[in-house]
Amino acid sequence: MLDRYLLRYFLAVVDQGNFSRAAGHCNVSQPTLSVGIAKLERALGQPLFIRSNQRVELTDAGSRFLIHARRIEREYNLAQQSMGLTGAMPALRIGVLGSIPADPVAAAIAQTRPGDSYRFELLFGSERELTGHLAKGRIDLALTLVDRGADRFAERFIYAEGYGLAMAAGHRLAGALAIDAAELANEVMIVRRHCEALSDTSRFFTERGVRPHFSLRSTNDERVLAMVAAGLGITVMPDSHTHPGVTRPRLTGFQMQRRIGWIATQTAEPLLAQPVPLMSALEERLTALRG
């Protein structure tokens, strides 16, 4: 029989990234935690971590055990909650693609107040970062790109959207519904370095002989939009992004779309069929932006 505190030690090392931070998280000394992990490895008959001076990584056995450890911890918390025990709220950790607008995410949280019903954690990141966190069990769900050909996680598609230009309302071309790339040959542009369509966008302009000067390179879309509104430059971004003083004409001939949806770990897969209110509110607000 495995003691629960050993599972907590194991999950803390996975979540915190090393033994020292994990010990602090569990309020024990590092030697105590290390002894506990060694005891767990003896009980399972296999090493769970590859230890080095730089970092701690899961072994193959550790990765397999992680799936069960997450499920056990989640079910334990749910059992405590069902018995009315205080301090036993289940946890839900959601990752959101960094290029999804922040306003509808914040509005959905304000509407549903997830922290009143369970311990809620929110994390923004790139597609690669989010799938990495899912693989390591650091988040349960991610609102991110789907239908990318991978089959590591369960997915549920929500909506698709295209990309368009973003320019200041006072720009000379701001009144146009669609703008040809050739009309932008002498324009100053802003680069969204985290954009999943960045390479396609660069190729699109290069093939049409447009090689602009870049006034800003940023991974923060709110900052990019503020600078676009200020007239610092124009950019290409998903259609769902809006901002006061910014217009969103189409870029003629640029047909790329992205497909957004949920991806889930094995333990959180039931939420794809029966979403919690926060998930439903997020979907409603994001799809409304496209309407």
Q: Quickly state the pLDDT bin for 86 (edges 50, 70, 90).
A: very low
pLDDT tens by residue, 112-130: 988 877 788 999 999 999 9
Range name among 69-83, 144-158, 252-266 with the lowest pLDDT average = 69-83
Position 291 scores a pLDDT of 57
> Among candidates 287, 275, 226, 246, which has minimal Cα distance to 114?
275
The Cβ of residue 6 has, within 10 Å, a number of other Cβ atoms equal to 17
Helix (H, G, I), strand (E, B) or coil at 229: helix
Give the whole-angstrom CA distance, residue 17 versus residue 214: 37
Residue 102 has pLDDT above 50, yes or no: yes
CB-based burial of residue 167 (10 Å sphere; 0-12 exposed, 13-18 middle, 19+ buried)? Answer: buried
User: What is 159-258's CATH topology?
Assistant: D-Maltodextrin-Binding Protein; domain 2 (3.40.190)
Read off the pLDDT of residues 167-200 as tens digits, 9 standing for 90 and up.
999 999 999 999 999 999 999 999 999 999 999 9
Reply yes or no on whether the pLDDT at 53 is more than 70.
Answer: no
**Under 8 Å between Cβ of 122 and 109:** yes
90 contacts 77 by C-beta, under 8 angstroms: yes
The CATH number given to 1-87 is 1.10.10.10
Point out which residues pair with 94 in neighbouring strands.
122, 141
For the chain, the structural domain boundaries read 1-87, 159-258
The yes-or-no verdict on residue 208 having pLDDT over 90 is yes
Number of Cβ atoms within 10 Å of the Cβ of 198: 13
Q: Which residues of 129-159 are buried (b: 16+ CB within 10 A; e: fewer)?
A: bbbebbebbbbbbbbbbbeeeeeebbbbebe
The pLDDT assigned to 97 comes to 96
Q: Are 111 and 157 in contact (CB under 8 A)?
A: no
**Residue 124 corresponds to which tokens in the numbers above?**
């923004």
By the 10 Å C-beta count (0-12 exposed, 13-18 middle, 19+ buried), 27 is classed as: exposed
One-letter amino acid of 251: L
pLDDT at 220 over 80: yes
* Greater model confidence, 83 or 204: 204
**Considering only 65-74, 248-257, 270-279, which range has the smallest mean pLDDT?**
65-74
- Tell me the pLDDT tens digit for each residue of 150-159: 677 899 999 9
Whether the model pTM is above 0.75: no
Terminal CA-CA length for the chain: 54
CA dihedral (280, 285, 289, 291) in degrees, to 10, reads 60
What are the structure tokens assigned to 271, written together? 């939420």
